[in-house]
A and B are shown apart, each in its own frame.
Chain A
């Protein structure tokens, strides 16, 4: 009786373990696809969006675009340029001020958004959509996951404005 019970427990354990493994794989699959759909944000108001091919689109957040004012010129990094995380890689000019562009993630530039070069106002009208700035090839995905999710970023923004009060 006890042996049978043990056997049953053992079997159940085996079944449960295999189920757990399957669940973990599933969870992992969901996790990857969720990450690929998301935009992540840096504390300096840049966003990054991971594409299926692990290239990352970079832009500035609505908050940053509003703070800049009307963008009259976008100097974007060139294709093939190596971007070092947190260092200047371009500039946006607005209201007589040239603001440096930083990338929250390192990588080689695959593409710059020529539409924005020709029409910098896109950065104001659609900073998190058509107004993206450039795309980089990201080697280390874990760096992407270290950035804030949208919810975390919105909370972060609130805390920033609270401090100003």
Chain B
């Protein structure tokens, strides 16, 4: 039976643009959920909540408004063009699964196959997608890196998360994505000379839209084919409206996915190394950043521990603001924290 709960205003606003429709296959305990929200943070939260709270085999389908999604252990400053994202109002999100950075917009279909750990099988899922695509005249193949290719170019990226009992494999299908926006968004702004880290790196590959081969194909059509293949004969036109009862829990997960601490702060420890001109002379600066906070500052050959005291730097207020400006537009919050700590020390 449907259960209604009083949701917070925020969730109401989101939910008013979101309907959860599901259909179940009579052949096996499988469900297909289709989100009509295009908020990347909400969709990530929905996926996470269903992964944690359901014990069924699920397929979730959704699309996002323009956004860049980085992998769990990546550094956004080297994976995406953050100033461009801010200018274009393109969101930046970090997902819980591994893998590299991807760009989403309304021309990109997201799929998430959620199963028990023992049923986790990426290859099967990708083959299912390929079968569905063959049915609409798209001659897709799978390579050894679990990418789906069309004429040698990537039309799908894959990532996964595995826990003890549950797992999910999610992937994208590029139907008709804005390629210019994609390449601008993923152009990394800071060279690897400046940012040094153990974070996982994306492997860039040439991409292609399905619309390149079948020009009049729509995302809805692709979605229907894949859902049909997954449901194996169940009547997928009979969608039932349902409301997820875990409203507050999804909101909590949503807020975490949206937080600076998760998106930027979760970056693995990294170092920023640069030479900048201060007071007419060139000095070498090295910052180490852990959990998004500047931990140490190394100037020329002397290490200053930010949390320590007795730092003897011959730098004026102007020089300090020069340093912060010269750090090539790093995330504003990060630099504000840095300036705050520096001005306490000086």
A98:B98 contact, CB within 8 angstroms: yes
Known contacts A93-B98, A94-B98, A118-B198; decide if A75 and B159 are in contact (CB<8 Å): no
Provide the residues of chain B in CB contact with A73, threshold 8 Å: 73, 98, 198-200, 268
Total interface residues on B, CB under 8 Å, equals 20
Residue-wise interface mask of A (45-72) relative to B, using a CB-CB cutoff of 8 A (1 in contact, 0 not):
0000000000000000000000000001
A141 at the interface (CB under 8 A from B): no
Residue-wise interface mask of B (60-86) relative to A, using a CB-CB cutoff of 8 A (1 in contact, 0 not):
000000000001110000000000000
A125 at the interface (CB under 8 A from B): no
Interface of A is mostly: strand
Residue-wise interface mask of B (235-268) relative to A, using a CB-CB cutoff of 8 A (1 in contact, 0 not):
0000000000000000000000000000000001
A99:B162 contact, CB within 8 angstroms: yes
Complex CA distance for A76 and B257, rounded to whole angstroms: 20
Complex CA distance for A73 and B198, rounded to whole angstroms: 8
Residue-wise interface mask of A (69-104) relative to B, using a CB-CB cutoff of 8 A (1 in contact, 0 not):
000110100000000001010010111111110100
Complex CA distance for A88 and B72, rounded to whole angstroms: 15
Complex CA distance for A129 and B152, rounded to whole angstroms: 42
B164:A75 contact, CB within 8 angstroms: no
Q: Which of B158, B164, B199 contacts A96 (CB 8 A)?
A: B158
B158:A117 contact, CB within 8 angstroms: no
Which A residues, 93 to 125, have Cβ-Cβ distances below 8 Å to chain B? 93-100, 102, 117-118
Complex CA distance for A95 and B98, rounded to whole angstroms: 8
Provide the residues of chain B in CB contact with A98, threshold 8 Å: 71-73, 96-98, 159-162
Complex CA distance for A115 and B324, rounded to whole angstroms: 32
Nearest CB on B from A106, distance (A): 16
Residue of A with least CB distance to B161:
A98
Complex CA distance for A114 and B200, rounded to whole angstroms: 17
Known contacts A73-B73, A73-B199, A117-B198; decide if A97 and B164 are in contact (CB<8 Å): no
B107 at the interface (CB under 8 A from A): no
B198:A97 contact, CB within 8 angstroms: no
Provide the residues of chain A in CB contact with B99, threshold 8 Å: 96-97
B73:A96 contact, CB within 8 angstroms: no
Residue of A with least CB distance to B97:
A98
Nearest CB on B from A77, distance (A): 14
Complex CA distance for A117 and B198, rounded to whole angstroms: 8
| A-B contacts, 27 listed (Cβ < 8 Å) | A73-B73, A73-B198, A73-B200, A75-B268, A91-B72, A91-B73, A93-B71, A93-B73, A94-B98, A96-B71, A96-B97, A96-B99, A96-B100, A96-B146, A96-B158, A96-B159, A96-B160, A97-B99, A97-B160, A98-B73, A98-B159, A98-B161, A98-B162, A99-B162, A100-B161, A100-B163, A102-B164
Closest 7 CB pairs of A and B: A96-B99, A97-B160, A98-B98, A93-B98, A73-B73, A99-B162, A100-B163
